[in-house]
Chain A
């Protein structure tokens, strides 16, 4: 009986994932394999490529802009992920209550996510303009600034963090809202009976039950943060003075502006490795600390 069950469980498992594996295999894995091959070539995508073994990788080690872009990408990620996920948790809890206009607020929070990156870029370019932007205007009223924001090499990356958190917070919020649906009412009532208080309920009931969603958001946000590109493309273009040159921007520049596609692929492979390490670490920690079924 057990053996039969186990046998059919394997088959069932494979059948269930088969369509996904096939589709992702074709459209996801094969292109990645191609990219790996590309990283061992000198290839400008126009003429015949030449195989150069690990030359691209060796060059990467000595490339100061590349090393700096790793540093910047990681700084960006370490700021973006906690702020957006933590902030989203706070907002989701606020929106979860049956307050007036909650539907309106929820839609409002979602709007930045639905707005195209182009529009977002235009808005932030204006908001943060050192001379004419509203940000400096308001800050001036309380005696702060004026700040260079996108034009100051020391501030640009943080301005990008602000812009992307703004653009993505709503996304995390709706994930959390969906997860909050799954919290059984009796647990919350029991906590109340135990005089747990709001903070206690939060810490011991809600937070653990939200942990699967939290893990998902952390892994997902990290993967995305390490690949941030669009927002930088429509504002600072990697500047000023490379202050916002993150890995994917550097890669894009190498491939499509300098015609070094092989080198760009090598950068992509390093990014891939970094992302893989982060994700596996997070999933492993998650497996031990995340609370699944009740």
Chain B
């Protein structure tokens, strides 16, 4: 009896929520759109300023920006909002969620918009960004942020140890040798740091090494794992040797201590991106492209603005805003204010570009390094599962609990299963 009553109320709630819907909000000709983001500090202010400028220059549209707290929680909040029927028009989401967001009918497919409106100059965006938002035939977002991994090192520690600074020709052997020399157990100093919590942070650094050795994550048809190839084992062995034999690697457990340690002069080298630079006020750091093997490939981790469908008017307004916000001039302004890398290749040609490289010493290396971001991680809904399998394997190797080949093979088996099942 109770069960029936329960189901009835439940059904009513579900139906009612469906009718909630998203109201159209054009009042007196003006279209109001909402943008959710997780920016704070300098970036938050820059975004607020940009919104203000846009509203002033576009009297028919009003964009309201709302901070959803921490980007880590964004997905939960967005999913709940979508289920509840009231969601924003634009939302900043991590690239790793793109493939899943593409599945909801509420996410706007930007591909037709690009086709009909070439003024967005789509191919001007870096290849890695475009890859990250392309899910099959759909394009599920507009690039918001691009970055890549490079080698950031402490010049003073290098000089103290008498090692020449890293060059663009550095190999894995150079990296290992330098890390060994820079490690001093007595002073609790490490040559290198690696995020070893088994999360995507662990995996994506490995991916760069894998690609440098000529390997791939999946086979070209996307049906099998390929990371347990010789190239993969070579990469994993490097990690194993450095961590368990040389003991030259500080294993960060995912809480970002490596940044503070580097800033305190306890770590010699990092594989990291431009977002970390402002955490190193006390270090005279140098930036170089990653040491390589067969090549010097790096990996890029783009995030995007995803558009959600609240009706034609609002969608068009949101598109207008994004076009404006990601235009070369506005994007350059953003980069200068925040230090974020230029999202368009053409930005390096704008007259303000030298201002940017002057303000952020060494940033040009990162920008040029974007050309080394040739390959991308698969943009498929099951990627997170694949990442977890790989992450566990790499973590096991780093902790000395498994051999590289065995760990990767086991992960590959799991991944094959995941791919076979679909989602």
Contacts and interface: CB of A to CB of B under 8 A. Distances in A.
Interface stretch (B26-34, B56-64, B296-304, B395-403): B395-403
Given A46-B101, A125-B255, A241 B6 contact: no
B395 A239 contact: yes
B119 interface: no
A29 B253 contact: no
Contact of A240 (B6, B104, B253, B266): B253
B366 to A, nearest CB: 28
A267 to B, nearest CB: 16
Interface in B366-423: 381, 384-385, 388, 392, 395-396, 399, 401, 423
B104 A46 contact: yes
Contacts of B261: 132
Given A46-B103, A256-B76, A258-B385, 18 more contacts: A33-B7, A34-B10, A34-B13, A44-B100, A44-B423, A45-B79, A46-B82, A131-B250, A236-B197, A237-B197, A237-B198, A239-B198, A240-B198, A240-B395, A241-B392, A253-B388, A256-B75, A257-B384
Nearest to B199: A237
Contacts of B105: 47
A150 interface: yes
Contacts of B49: none
A30 B6 contact: yes
B100 A153 contact: no
A44 B13 contact: no
Contacts of B385: 258
A259 B396 CA distance: 25
A37 B82 CA distance: 19
B10 A37 contact: yes
A151 B253 contact: yes
Interface size class of B (residues with CB under 8 A): 35 or more
B358 interface: no
B71 to A, nearest CB: 13
Nearest to A128: B253
B423 A259 contact: yes
A129 interface: yes
Nearest to B393: A241
B253 A150 contact: yes
B381 A259 contact: yes
A242 B399 CA distance: 13
16 contacts: A46-B82, A46-B100, A125-B253, A126-B257, A131-B250, A132-B188, A151-B399, A153-B399, A235-B255, A239-B197, A239-B395, A241-B401, A242-B392, A258-B384, A258-B388, A259-B423
Interface residues of A, number: 32
Interface in B1-16: 6-7, 9-10, 13
Residue of B83, B197, B261, B392 most packed against chain A (CB within 10 A) = B197
A29 B6 CA distance: 8
Contacts of A259: 100, 381, 384, 423
Contacts, number: 86
A236 to B, nearest CB: 7
Interface of B: 6-7, 9-10, 13, 75-76, 79, 82-83, 100-101, 103-105, 188, 196-199, 250-251, 253-255, 257, 261, 266, 381, 384-385, 388, 392, 395-396, 399, 401, 423
A237 B83 CA distance: 27
Contacts of A240: 196-198, 253, 395, 399
Given A30-B10, A240-B198, A259-B423, A125 B257 contact: yes
Given A29-B6, A239-B197, A257-B384, A47 B253 contact: no
Contacts of A242: 392
B6 to A, nearest CB: 5
B9 A129 contact: no
B396 A47 contact: no
A213 to B, nearest CB: 32
A242 B395 CA distance: 11
A121 B255 CA distance: 9
Residue of A29, A34, A151 most packed against chain B (CB within 10 A) = A151
Contacts of A126: 257
Interface string A86-106: 000000000000000000000
A47 B10 contact: no
B395 A241 contact: yes
Contacts of B396: 241
A258 B105 CA distance: 19
Nearest to B256: A125
Contacts of B75: 256
Contact of B253 (A34, A44, A236): A236
A-B pairs, top 6 by smallest CB distance, nearest first, are A46-B104, A33-B6, A45-B79, A47-B103, A239-B198, A125-B255
Interface in A215-271: 234-237, 239-242, 253, 256-259
Interface in A17-56: 29-30, 33-34, 37, 44-47
Interface string A141-159: 0000000001101000000
A30 B9 CA distance: 8
Nearest to B102: A46
Contacts of A125: 253, 255, 257
A47 B251 CA distance: 39
Contacts of A29: 6
Contacts of A236: 197, 253
A256 B384 CA distance: 10
A237 B9 CA distance: 37
